[in-house]
Amino acid sequence: MLCEYCKKNPVTTHIKAIINGEPTEYSLCAECAQKFGYGSLLTNLGYNFGGLLGEFFSESEMSDLSETVHCKFCGASFDDIIHTGKVGCVQCYKTFSDRLIPLIQHIHGNTKHIGKIPGGNMLQKRPNEQLSVMKRELREAIDTENFEHAADLRDKIKEIERELKHD
Protein backbone atom coordinates (compact mmCIF):
# COMPACT_ATOMS: atom_id res chain seq x y z
CA MET A 1 0.00 0.00 0.00
CA LEU A 2 1.36 3.43 -0.95
CA CYS A 3 1.19 6.61 1.11
CA GLU A 4 -2.10 8.47 0.62
CA TYR A 5 -0.38 11.83 0.65
CA CYS A 6 2.71 11.54 -1.57
CA LYS A 7 1.67 8.29 -3.32
CA LYS A 8 5.34 7.33 -3.58
CA ASN A 9 6.52 5.45 -0.50
CA PRO A 10 5.08 2.44 1.34
CA VAL A 11 2.71 3.09 4.26
CA THR A 12 4.30 2.76 7.68
CA THR A 13 1.94 4.78 9.87
CA HIS A 14 -1.82 4.70 10.34
CA ILE A 15 -3.32 7.84 11.82
CA LYS A 16 -6.81 8.41 13.13
CA ALA A 17 -8.22 11.91 13.35
CA ILE A 18 -11.63 13.54 13.82
CA ILE A 19 -12.24 15.94 10.94
CA ASN A 20 -15.47 17.95 10.94
CA GLY A 21 -16.86 15.51 13.47
CA GLU A 22 -16.13 12.55 11.19
CA PRO A 23 -13.58 9.94 12.26
CA THR A 24 -11.05 9.64 9.44
CA GLU A 25 -8.14 7.28 8.97
CA TYR A 26 -4.96 8.13 7.08
CA SER A 27 -2.23 5.81 5.90
CA LEU A 28 1.07 7.62 5.49
CA CYS A 29 4.69 6.85 4.68
CA ALA A 30 7.50 7.65 7.10
CA GLU A 31 8.39 10.95 5.50
CA CYS A 32 4.84 12.30 5.39
CA ALA A 33 4.01 10.98 8.87
CA GLN A 34 7.07 12.81 10.13
CA LYS A 35 5.94 15.96 8.31
CA PHE A 36 2.60 15.82 10.11
CA GLY A 37 4.25 15.19 13.44
CA TYR A 38 3.83 11.43 13.83
CA GLY A 39 6.85 9.28 14.50
CA SER A 40 7.81 5.78 15.55
CA LEU A 41 10.15 4.52 18.25
CA LEU A 42 13.14 4.98 16.00
CA THR A 43 12.35 8.44 14.70
CA ASN A 44 13.66 11.46 16.53
CA LEU A 45 16.73 9.70 17.77
CA GLY A 46 18.46 12.92 16.99
CA TYR A 47 17.23 13.64 13.51
CA ASN A 48 15.62 17.01 14.26
CA PHE A 49 18.98 18.69 14.05
CA GLY A 50 17.77 21.06 11.33
CA GLY A 51 15.20 22.57 13.68
CA LEU A 52 17.83 22.98 16.35
CA LEU A 53 20.13 24.84 13.96
CA GLY A 54 17.34 27.27 13.22
CA GLU A 55 16.86 27.86 16.94
CA PHE A 56 20.54 28.24 17.62
CA PHE A 57 21.57 30.67 14.93
CA SER A 58 19.62 33.92 14.73
CA GLU A 59 18.40 35.03 11.31
CA SER A 60 21.10 37.64 10.90
CA GLU A 61 23.72 35.04 11.74
CA MET A 62 22.14 32.68 9.23
CA SER A 63 22.50 35.20 6.43
CA ASP A 64 26.08 35.92 7.45
CA LEU A 65 26.77 32.25 7.10
CA SER A 66 25.75 32.01 3.52
CA GLU A 67 29.18 33.00 2.19
CA THR A 68 30.72 30.39 -0.03
CA VAL A 69 33.19 28.34 1.98
CA HIS A 70 32.87 24.75 0.83
CA CYS A 71 34.18 21.65 2.53
CA LYS A 72 37.16 20.41 0.52
CA PHE A 73 36.24 16.77 0.95
CA CYS A 74 32.49 16.65 0.28
CA GLY A 75 31.75 20.08 -1.18
CA ALA A 76 29.08 21.03 1.38
CA SER A 77 28.69 24.66 2.41
CA PHE A 78 27.43 25.64 5.85
CA ASP A 79 24.26 26.72 4.11
CA ASP A 80 23.80 23.14 2.90
CA ILE A 81 24.24 21.85 6.44
CA ILE A 82 21.59 24.22 7.74
CA HIS A 83 19.14 23.41 4.97
CA THR A 84 19.48 19.64 5.11
CA GLY A 85 20.07 19.48 8.85
CA LYS A 86 22.93 17.12 8.02
CA VAL A 87 26.69 17.53 8.32
CA GLY A 88 28.29 16.49 5.01
CA CYS A 89 31.32 14.51 6.11
CA VAL A 90 34.03 14.05 8.73
CA GLN A 91 35.99 16.97 7.28
CA CYS A 92 33.01 19.35 7.66
CA TYR A 93 33.49 19.16 11.44
CA LYS A 94 36.93 20.74 10.86
CA THR A 95 36.00 23.11 8.03
CA PHE A 96 33.04 24.59 9.93
CA SER A 97 34.36 24.02 13.44
CA ASP A 98 34.01 27.74 14.32
CA ARG A 99 30.23 27.35 14.02
CA LEU A 100 29.71 23.69 14.82
CA ILE A 101 31.74 23.60 18.05
CA PRO A 102 29.58 26.26 19.83
CA LEU A 103 26.50 24.36 18.69
CA ILE A 104 27.94 21.08 19.99
CA GLN A 105 28.76 22.79 23.29
CA HIS A 106 25.14 23.97 23.41
CA ILE A 107 23.73 20.49 22.73
CA HIS A 108 25.99 18.40 24.97
CA GLY A 109 27.36 20.96 27.41
CA ASN A 110 30.77 19.59 26.49
CA THR A 111 33.22 19.30 23.60
CA LYS A 112 35.54 16.53 24.80
CA HIS A 113 34.86 12.86 24.13
CA ILE A 114 35.63 10.53 27.04
CA GLY A 115 33.88 7.35 25.90
CA LYS A 116 34.97 4.36 23.88
CA ILE A 117 37.82 4.69 21.38
CA PRO A 118 38.28 2.44 18.37
CA GLY A 119 40.26 -0.55 19.57
CA GLY A 120 41.40 -2.85 16.84
CA ASN A 121 41.12 -0.14 14.25
CA MET A 122 44.41 0.25 12.37
CA LEU A 123 43.60 3.47 10.58
CA GLN A 124 42.35 5.52 13.50
CA LYS A 125 43.46 9.12 13.73
CA ARG A 126 45.45 9.00 16.94
CA PRO A 127 48.94 8.53 15.56
CA ASN A 128 50.88 8.07 18.80
CA GLU A 129 48.54 5.59 20.44
CA GLN A 130 48.08 3.91 17.12
CA LEU A 131 51.82 3.51 16.70
CA SER A 132 52.28 1.73 19.98
CA VAL A 133 49.42 -0.63 19.17
CA MET A 134 50.87 -1.31 15.75
CA LYS A 135 54.38 -1.87 17.03
CA ARG A 136 53.07 -4.38 19.54
CA GLU A 137 51.19 -6.12 16.80
CA LEU A 138 54.30 -6.10 14.63
CA ARG A 139 56.26 -7.88 17.35
CA GLU A 140 53.49 -10.45 17.66
CA ALA A 141 53.42 -10.93 13.90
CA ILE A 142 57.18 -11.54 13.84
CA ASP A 143 56.97 -13.90 16.82
CA THR A 144 54.28 -15.93 15.10
CA GLU A 145 56.20 -15.82 11.82
CA ASN A 146 53.34 -14.06 10.07
CA PHE A 147 55.77 -12.20 7.84
CA GLU A 148 53.35 -10.97 5.24
CA HIS A 149 51.30 -9.19 7.91
CA ALA A 150 54.52 -7.96 9.55
CA ALA A 151 55.74 -6.39 6.31
CA ASP A 152 52.41 -4.72 5.83
CA LEU A 153 52.51 -3.34 9.39
CA ARG A 154 56.09 -2.15 9.00
CA ASP A 155 55.10 -0.12 5.92
CA LYS A 156 52.13 1.43 7.72
CA ILE A 157 54.26 2.30 10.76
CA LYS A 158 56.82 4.00 8.52
CA GLU A 159 54.08 5.96 6.82
CA ILE A 160 52.63 7.18 10.10
CA GLU A 161 56.05 8.09 11.45
CA ARG A 162 56.69 10.11 8.30
CA GLU A 163 53.34 11.90 8.75
CA LEU A 164 54.16 12.64 12.38
CA LYS A 165 57.42 14.31 11.38
CA HIS A 166 55.58 16.53 8.92
CA ASP A 167 53.12 17.60 11.60
Partner 1 sequence: MIDVKNNRDIVISTHIHLFRNLDSFPFLSRTNHFERQKILNLVRETINSNDILSRNLNFIDIENIETAQAVSFVERNLISAEFLSYCTDRDLYLNKDNTVSLMVNEDDHLHLQTVCCGLNLEKAYSKADEIETILGKSLDFAFDTNLGYLTHSPINIGTGMRASLVLHLPALKDSGGIERISSNLSKIGFVLRSVYSSNLDSEGGIYQLSNQVTLGITEKEAISNLEKIAIQMINQERLLEEKLSQNIEIQDLVSRSFAVLKSAVIMSNSEFLKLISNVRLGVSTGLIADIDYDTINRLISELQPATLISSYSKPLTTKERRFLRAKKIREIISNN
**Binding interface with partner 1 (CB under 8 A):** 1, 9-14, 16, 25, 29-31, 33-34, 36-47, 49, 52, 73-76, 84-90, 93, 100, 103-104, 107-126
Angle CA 128–130–134, to nearest 5: 120
Residue 77 backbone dihedrals phi, psi, to 5 degrees? -100, 170
DSSP codes, 54-120: HHHS-HHHHHHTTS--B-TTT--BHHHHHHHS----TTHHHHTHHHHHHHHHHHHS-----S---SS
CB of 131 to partner 1, least distance (A): 14
By three-state DSSP, how is residue 34 classified?
A: helix
**Which residue in 78, 70, 124, 73 sits closest to 100, CA to CA?**
78
Closer by beta carbon to partner 1, 107 or else 151:
107
- Provide the minimum distance between the beta carbon of 97 and partner 1 in the complex, in angstroms, as a whole number: 9
Q: Which is nearer to partner 1, 33 or 138 (CB)?
A: 33
- The pair phi, psi for residue 43, each rounded to 5°, is -80, 165
Cβ proximity to partner 1: between 21 and 23 the closer is 23
Q: CB-wise, 77 or 150, nearer to partner 1?
A: 77
The nearer residue to partner 1, 13 or 141, going by C-beta atoms, is 13
Residues 6 or more apart in contact with residue 83 via CB below 8 angstroms: 50
**CB of residue 4 to partner 1, shortest distance in Å:** 14
CB of 152 to partner 1, least distance (A): 14
Q: How far is the CB of 56 from partner 1 (least distance, A)?
A: 10
